[in-house]
Homo-oligomer: A and B are copies of this chain.
Amino acid sequence: MLTRVNHIALAVPHLATAIARYRDSLGAKVSAAQPLPEHGVTVAFVTVGDTKIELLEPLLEASPIASFLARSPDGGMHHICYEVTDIIAARDQLTAAGARVIGNGTPRIGAHGNSVMFLHPKDFFGTLIELEEVN
């Protein structure tokens, strides 16, 4: 079902500081900050090999990243996104196996313009999993 790791998302309290740290201390290639109001975050992409690390800062107080940072003010690892080729088939296989999809079960359009859905972290040992359909 899982074809590759698309990205690992990290919540950070201050994006400009995190961009500078990843670029200057770790020598990584980091994009400019991109506000994504429909997702409630500002994001910067760190490219490491063929994997992306997404640095996420809350854009709105209602952002899911804001509630994460309320629990972990320093920031931390937020989710892993895996690619699947058929997100509806993946959803049906997962729910048949007893895993819970967050939301109403209909994939939504993610930050990269593809269909995405999130799986409940309680069903995967505290790790929030995003699935993204990439063909």
Contact = CB atoms under 8 A, between A and B. Distances in A.
Q: Size class of A's contact patch? A: 35 or more
A5 B49 contact: yes
Nearest to A27: B1
A60 interface: no
A82 interface: yes
A40 to B, nearest CB: 18
A88 interface: no
A77 B80 contact: yes
A24 B121 contact: no
A126 B72 contact: yes
Contact of A26 (B1, B13, B53, B98): B1
* A26, A51, A94: most-surrounded residue (chain B CB, <10 A): A26
A99 interface: yes
